[in-house]
Amino acid sequence: MSEQVCKADMGGGGAAGVDMYGYPVETTGNAVLDILEHRSSTRAFARDDDDHPVAVTDEQRAAILHAASRAPSAGAMMMYSIVSIREQATLDRLADLCDHQPMIAKAPWALIFVVDYAKWIDLFEHVGCFEPEFVERTGKASRRAPGLGDFAIAAQDAVIAAQNAVVAAEALGLGSCYIGDIVENAEEVAELLDLPPYTMPLSMLIIGTPRKERPAIAHPVVNLVHEERYRRADTATMDAQVAEMDAMFRPHAREVGERVVDIYTRKHTSPFMAEMSRSMEWWFKNWLGK
């Protein structure tokens, strides 16, 4: 959808454009907010004269990984690991395993954010927490596998770090795209990445130089924020949601609700979502060490 932009005074010295729905799409005068405003997913990456993806430099990689490491972490436990992928054979295999998406193979760099309690199990064992003397002295359990509570905290750590990497990449002039399909084909992904029990690859980013300028597209906001309590949408609110989404994603729709129907048929009832659900059951068993 092409955006119709007009200028509006945002105050603070920054001029911002608004699209046809009134959403700001240009500058606010704040560097961080501008990065967030302009960011959109990159699915096509620049190629060099030899038709290879333009490489992400060592300096850029270091800056992005450092930014990821600066993300908030529960108890500073850093309950995630980042698997950095640049080898073409691995990118090719990931493209196949992640719902057959060629753009993964055409990216110069991928980061896989692994929810990781294995390293803490290893550390507990390394310093003697599982030794009988320690158990007797402290009265603590001799050993337990991480539970779903541990997963909830670790997953938050991982996705916050991933988003820090996204913002850093954008600040460096690079583009990125989240690949949620990394959780599919669990057994084969675990083998490819040598993932042990107590781990799960929660998200993947592909990163590189965008092939072309990417327009920022507004996201639906009706029924997004709830004050004080969650409220199920009433008919009027759902009508407003449908209208907003059709206007954004189906401007030439012949019938009301085409965007919702598209999501139902293309995603909610899709074979890849069934495979993702199957794989998530496998990953949760792996997380629990079963």
Which domains, ranges and CATH numbers included, belong to the chain?
Answer: 1-38 (no CATH), 41-212 (3.40.109.10), 220-290 (no CATH)
pLDDT range class, residue 169, cuts 50, 70, 90: very high
- Phi then psi for 175, rounded to 5 degrees? -110, 165
Lowest mean pLDDT among 19-23, 151-155, 255-259, 280-284: 19-23
Do 94 and 182 meet the contact criterion of CB atoms below 8 Å apart? Answer: yes
Do 179 and 104 meet the contact criterion of CB atoms below 8 Å apart? Answer: yes
Mean pLDDT, to the nearest integer, of 272-288?
96
Q: What is the pLDDT of residue 22?
A: 46
pLDDT, tens only, 98-120: 999 999 999 999 999 999 999 99
Mean pLDDT, to the nearest integer, of 39-61?
96
pLDDT range class, residue 28, cuts 50, 70, 90: confident
Q: What is the pLDDT of residue 18?
A: 52
Do 210 and 44 meet the contact criterion of CB atoms below 8 Å apart? Answer: yes
Q: Is residue 27 predicted with pLDDT exceeding 80?
A: no
